Amino acid sequence: MPDDQPVAANGLLDRRLFLQGGAGTALALSGISSSAADGEELRVEPWMKLPGSPFVGYGQPSRFEDKVVRVAANPPNAPGTGAARTPLHRLNGTITPNGLHFERSHSGIPDIDPDAHRFLIHGLIKRPLVFTLETLSRYPVESRIAFIECGGNGNQLYQKDAAPLNVQALQGADAAGMSRSVPLAKAMDDALIALYQNGERIRPSNGYPMRLLLPGYEGNMQVKWLRRIKVTEGPTMTKDETSKYTMLLLDGKSLQFVFPIEAKSVITQPSPGLVMNGPGLYEISGIAWSGYGKITKVEVSADGGKTWAPAALQQPVLSMALTRFRVPWQWSGGPAILQSRATDGSGYVQPTRAELIARRGAKAFYHFNGVTSWGVTEIGEVKHVYA
Amino acid sequence: MPDDQPVAANGLLDRRLFLQGGAGTALALSGISSSAADGEELRVEPWMKLPGSPFVGYGQPSRFEDKVVRVAANPPNAPGTGAARTPLHRLNGTITPNGLHFERSHSGIPDIDPDAHRFLIHGLIKRPLVFTLETLSRYPVESRIAFIECGGNGNQLYQKDAAPLNVQALQGADAAGMSRSVPLAKAMDDALIALYQNGERIRPSNGYPMRLLLPGYEGNMQVKWLRRIKVTEGPTMTKDETSKYTMLLLDGKSLQFVFPIEAKSVITQPSPGLVMNGPGLYEISGIAWSGYGKITKVEVSADGGKTWAPAALQQPVLSMALTRFRVPWQWSGGPAILQSRATDGSGYVQPTRAELIARRGAKAFYHFNGVTSWGVTEIGEVKHVYA
């Protein structure tokens, strides 16, 4: 049975600590709960004395959660152009609520009448076909849990100095286009035309009434408001796969057609924007994902990468889906640098930022998947740092 | 390779028909798509000529989906008492969006300030403990996908005549209370205090800031707006486990403390409220679940239970979670009676309505899990029937 001794420096504890109760639970209880006198009654709060509000057709979050919103990053005078980013530091689990799912648009969100919308498949096929939403909906449906990540995510981490940003602001800043070449093998393998997201019709900002879903591929290829698929002999070299979404390397050449997102992870709790409420027991938690399959391991460091502790992975671990990881942490109150490092089923290990830049240079812009570092100060502030 | 010949009467096709493309796909294409002249361009719609709407912090569904809402069933003059039911016939996949998750309240939805909320554990424990949301949030978190079903769900199917209702109206009508006895073994096994639902803080109508989650158990035990857990020597015989949530049997005695939901399934597409748009290929789809573990098999009938075809189960199939099933159906345009029948890992098979009532009587009210039947008429209407 695991005890409460650190398994890596700076207070990282055994990931199995709480599975069997006993020592770990007692540790936690002594650390962070408050005693009550036996038989003490709870205060009767005002909301217990009055009838509450009636039912509504479509529910909303509590008004006390009004800060849990996407943050938009727009160029000046272009209200519909830019990105709106998910507040990952305030979410948990592995499902992203539809209202908070990141979005990236360059001409705002169209107000599409689904009955008027048409979807065309043409090009090198026997017979071009036009679908309405109704005819398309009669095809066999498949549902899956998959991540979608902007290829431009975290591009600020290629910069020389650590930007004073949180996990939300570092989450999305691509330069998406509307026309991309997709390998036929991918289209025949696991591509989907997504009509629903988290059970309900996909929302306007994410492609209503239909978008392409290419599990594991960079976000901009998963075309929203999908109108047509043209089968061609080879890539069509659109602006969005030549001048954009190519990675400029050290030798002046560019990497083109890098579709899957490489294994990556980020700690969401604690992270900038959240505050540590004094020394004691915490859970370090975050998400990991890979466009090449399943996450097989996540390690966490509290000393800037010198020592590592294995994190527990939330089951079920699914291929090309967000995987939640967790590790208990006894924070002494001293300074700490928190990092996470993911490994996927191909054996690929998430590189440090220095390794990534040594390999690729700092002008690649896209596909940043280096280790991210959060510095914790003695007063419990959490800041983005390079380490 | 499966061909397109029926595997059960009235047009039910092989569940693997579309897995390999070929015959099945060609069948579908010929059945439900429209041809386009080669090179034909799509019409330029008005929403392609104007900038769309800007980003918002918390996204909402399309205005064209304004009928996809919960429907409230209230007693007269009691706006916060009753139930609001999920439009299952308009959803897909296995995740229920938070805004559409069923709710049941008897005094409306309280507007709880999470910072003022306190949670007490007391009774037969060494030291009573009081938690704030902050202290509770520092405990290790676990996330899981689980169903919650009202014990009173489908109680109208105990009635003599088939009520003219859809799957949404048959979905929830319990008589929940606020105080229930939970076996200590369950509490130590897989009970959770839920702070999040689908990644974001649980919403007010579902227990903000915290509710009990008892996977597989009837909904009313999963107490919302959780204030206290008292450890006692045995059940406390609250009104909600004596006069309510007990099942009156044929011999005048009642079944008490039936916690887990028995294996159950229902077809969501097609179902009442949806219309069949002429003969041709459709997918019959629905959800199955069991409080005793995983769903291992779902069978579908199009002739009122005389012949059955095995349905495909959407992976991953998780214990005590909704499992989506699907089977392709070539509808001839003639009358049909659609049914589904679930089997779980314990070997338990969902009974017919007649079998359930023969065993339990028609006054049990709770835990109705008999097979539900949808009649399809020649003009494509879908109605609730007994068969």
Confidence (pLDDT) at A326: 95
Q: Which residue of B has its CA nearest to A17?
A: B140
**Placement of tokens 């999040």 in the chain:** B196
CB contact under 8 A, A72 and B59: no
Interface residue A67 vs chain B (CB under 8 A): no
| DSSP E strand stretches across B166-208 | 192-194, 196-197, 200-201
The pLDDT assigned to A341 comes to 98
State chain A's mean pLDDT as an integer: 86
Here the tokens at position B179 are 């105080």
What's the pLDDT tens digit per position in A210-227? 999 999 999 888 888 888
Q: Which of B124, B77, B84, B122 is nearest to B100 (CA)?
A: B84
Q: Flag if A47 and B283 touch (Cβ within 8 Å).
A: no
- A129 to B198: CB separation less than 8 angstroms, yes or no: no
Q: Is the pLDDT of residue A176 over 70?
A: no
ipTM over 0.85: yes
* Contact residues on chain B for A56, CB-CB shorter than 8 A: 70, 84, 205
CB B332 within 8 A of CB B10: yes
pLDDT at A250 over 50: yes
Q: How far is CA B15 from CA A23, A238, B8, B332, in A?
A: 50, 39, 11, 18
Write the pLDDT tens digit of every residue in A78-99: 767 788 888 988 999 889 999 9
Q: Which chain B residues are within 8 Å of A146, Cβ to Cβ?
A: none
CA distances to A82, A161, A336, A371 from A351, in Å: 28, 18, 20, 6
Taking a contact as any Cβ pair under 8 Å apart, which residues of chain A between 217 and 246 contact chain B? 227-228
Report, as ranges of residue numbers, the positions in chain B whose pLDDT lies below 50.
Answer: 23, 172-177
- The β-bridge partners of A312 are A326
> For the segment B346-373, what is each residue's pLDDT rounded down to a tens digit?
999 999 999 999 999 999 889 999 999 9
Q: How confident is the model at residue A264 (pLDDT cuts 50, 70, 90)?
A: very high
**Contact predicate A235/A181, CB 8 Å:** yes
Give the pLDDT of residue B172. Answer: 35
Q: Which pLDDT does position B341 carry in this prediction?
A: 98
- Whether A45 has a pLDDT exceeding 50, the answer reads yes
Residue B312, pLDDT score: 95
Query: Contacts of residue B82 in chain A, CB cutoff 8 Å?
Result: 55
**Count of A-B CB contacts under 8 Å:** 361
CB contact under 8 A, B61 and A203: yes
Q: What tens digit of pLDDT does each residue of A139-175 get?
A: 888 888 988 888 888 888 888 888 777 777 657 322 2
Interface of A with B in 30-59 (CB under 8 A): 32-40, 42-43, 45, 47-48, 51-59
CB-nearest to B142 from A65, A109, A314 is A314
Cα–Cα distance, A246 to A235 (Å, whole number): 14
A99-126, pLDDT tens digit by residue?
A: 999 888 877 888 899 999 998 888 888 8
The yes-or-no verdict on residue A248 having pLDDT over 60 is: yes
The amino acid at B204: P
Contact B47 A110 (CB under 8 A): yes
